Amino acid sequence: METPDNEKQEYNITVYTENQIGLLNRIAIIFTRRKINIDSLNTSPSEIESIHRFNIVITESEEVVRKLTRQIEKQVEVLKVYYHTNADVIWQELALYKVSTDVIAEKVSVERLLRENGARVVVLRKDYTVFETTGHREETDNLISILQPYGLIEFVRSARVAIIKDSEGFNSKLREFERLEPGEDVVENEYLNQGQKVFTM
């Protein structure tokens, strides 16, 4: 990255962990202890059974993020931590919008609305309709402002999920952890070798 070490920007922190009660708290307090706000947090099972993946978004300098990732990786039940700028990932947030079917059918060109915002209808009932979009924050925000005049009933947005552009070999590396004994080829701390950066594959 060209950005200087101390300039703040959004970072996507990806954490692979065991599925363990209390681990969310153990990870969260690493941020709260330093009074760092978590902008977005998503946790769900990864493609490997029993391994979970956290996606955490914070706005900080790279130096702070690097130190945080090392503190997270130090936790006994954390397998691996990576961090990336927004330029290094493809990310999406999912949003659901509930509106009155009557109003929307009467006053809005639903077809245009769906087309222009890449939205789709999830539920269509006599009393209400639920739209869904995925995209960056601006995109999901945009549909709020469009629907607001037509009596938006309820809105919800998911945390961010991000896929890393340069992640060749991630899956096979994770599978290595399934083995009980550490193999010769598992290099546990590859990122350390990079001096400056947390390991990116």
Residues that bind other proteins (CB under 8 A): 17-18, 21-22, 25-26, 29, 33, 66-67, 70-71, 73-74, 76-79, 177-182, 187-189, 192-193, 195
Nearer to other proteins, 145 or 196 (CB): 196
Nearer to other proteins, 132 or 190 (CB): 190
Q: According to DSSP H, which parts of 61-198 are helical?
A: 62-73, 101-107, 110-117, 137-147, 170-178
Separation of alpha carbons 195 and 135, rounded Å = 34
Nearer to other proteins, 131 or 170 (CB): 170
169: which residues sit within 8 A by CB, 6+ positions away? 201
Separation of alpha carbons 59 and 66, rounded Å = 13
Nearer to other proteins, 56 or 119 (CB): 56
Separation of alpha carbons 97 and 105, rounded Å = 15
Separation of alpha carbons 133 and 141, rounded Å = 10
95: which residues sit within 8 A by CB, 6+ positions away? 132, 133, 134, 135, 140, 143, 144, 155, 156, 157, 158
CB of 193 to other proteins, least distance (A): 7
CB of 81 to other proteins, least distance (A): 11
Nearer to other proteins, 68 or 143 (CB): 68
CB of 52 to other proteins, least distance (A): 11
CB of 55 to other proteins, least distance (A): 18
* Three-class secondary structure of residue 90 per DSSP: strand
Nearer to other proteins, 154 or 188 (CB): 188
CB of 149 to other proteins, least distance (A): 45
CB of 174 to other proteins, least distance (A): 11
Estimate to the nearest angstrom the gap between the alpha carbon of 54 and the chain centroid: 7
Separation of alpha carbons 38 and 161, rounded Å = 14
